[in-house]
C-alpha cells in the first residue's frame, strides 16, 4: 500500500508557505510517472511543487525520502527565492534521515503518526487524508 506522509518540520514550513496537501499528493503522482526534478542519492529526491495560482515558475522545492513505490515522505521544503539549494551538510543529514524513514516498519510509522511526528496525507488511491 502506498503511503504519503509529511514530517512535523515539513508541516510547519508548509503552513507558512500556504501549500495545500492536494498539491503534494499531485507531486507524488507526477513522480510515479517519472517526473522527478533531481535524484539526490540515498533515497532522497527533489521535486518542485507549484503554489496555487502561480505555477511552477513561482514554485517551492520539496525534498522527499522515497523508495519510489510504497513510501513517500515530505521532509524539507523551501522557496526558490529564499535559497537556491540545500547545503552538503543538510544533504548528508537528510540522506541519513531518509535511510531511517525508509526502513521503518508500518508499526513504527503508525507510532510516529500517533505521536505527531508524521502526518499521513494521501492513501493508496492518492486521495487526501483529513
In this prediction, residues 64-74 reach a mean pLDDT of 95
Q: pLDDT at position 79, please?
A: 85
Place of cell 500500500: 1
Q: Report the distance separating Cα 94 and Cα 98, nearest Å.
A: 6
Domain membership flag for residue 113:
yes
- pLDDT of 104 higher than 50: yes
On the CB side of 39, how many CA atoms lie within 13 Å of its CA? 8
Does a structural domain hold residue 129?
no
Query: At residue 106, does pLDDT exceed 60?
Result: yes
**pLDDT (0 to 100) of residue 55:** 58
Q: Given pLDDT bands bounded at 50, 70 and 90, which one contains residue 59?
A: confident
Q: Is residue 10 part of a domain?
A: yes
What average pLDDT does this structure show over 89-115? 95
Q: Does 86 reside within a domain?
A: yes
CB 75 within 8 A of CB 8: no
Total-model pTM: 0.89
Instruction: Tell me whether residue 109 is in a domain.
Output: yes
Is residue 91 a part of any domain in this protein? yes
Cα torsion 24, 29, 32, 38: sign: negative
pLDDT computed for residue 127 by the predictor? 47
- What whole-number distance in Å separates Cα of residue 86 and Cα of residue 67? 21
pLDDT at 1 over 90: no
In this prediction, residue 31 has a pLDDT band, given cuts at 50, 70 and 90, of very high
Task: Compute φ and ψ for 86, nearest 5 degrees.
Answer: -90, 155
Report percent pLDDT > 90 for the chain. 75
Q: Which pLDDT score, from 0 to 100, does residue 91 have?
A: 96
Give the pLDDT score at 126: 42
Determine, yes or no, domain membership for 17: yes
The boundaries of the domain holding residue 83 are 3-122
**For the chain, what is the domain count?**
1
Count other C-beta atoms under 10 Å from residue 35's C-beta. 11
Amino acid at each position: 500500500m502506498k503511503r504519503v506522509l509529511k514530517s512535523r518540520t515539513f508541516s510547519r514550513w508548509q503552513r507558512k508557505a500556504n501549500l495545500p496537501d492536494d498539491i503534494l499528493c499531485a507531486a507524488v503522482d507526477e513522480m510515479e510517472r517519472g517526473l522527478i526534478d533531481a535524484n539526490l542519492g540515498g533515497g532522497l529526491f527533489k521535486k518542485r511543487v507549484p503554489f496555487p495560482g502561480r505555477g511552477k515558475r513561482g514554485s517551492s522545492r520539496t525534498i522527499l525520502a522515497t523508495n519510489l513505490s510504497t513510501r513517500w515522505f515530505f521532509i524539507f521544503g523551501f522557496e526558490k527565492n529564499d535559497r537556491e539549494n540545500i547545503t552538503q551538510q543538510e544533504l548528508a543529514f537528510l540522506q541519513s534521515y531518509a535511510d531511517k524513514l525508509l526502513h521503518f516498519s508500518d508499526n513504527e510509522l503508525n507510532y510516529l503518526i500517533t505521536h505527531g511526528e508524521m502526518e499521513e496525507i494521501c492513501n493508496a488511491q492518492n486521495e487526501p487524508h483529513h
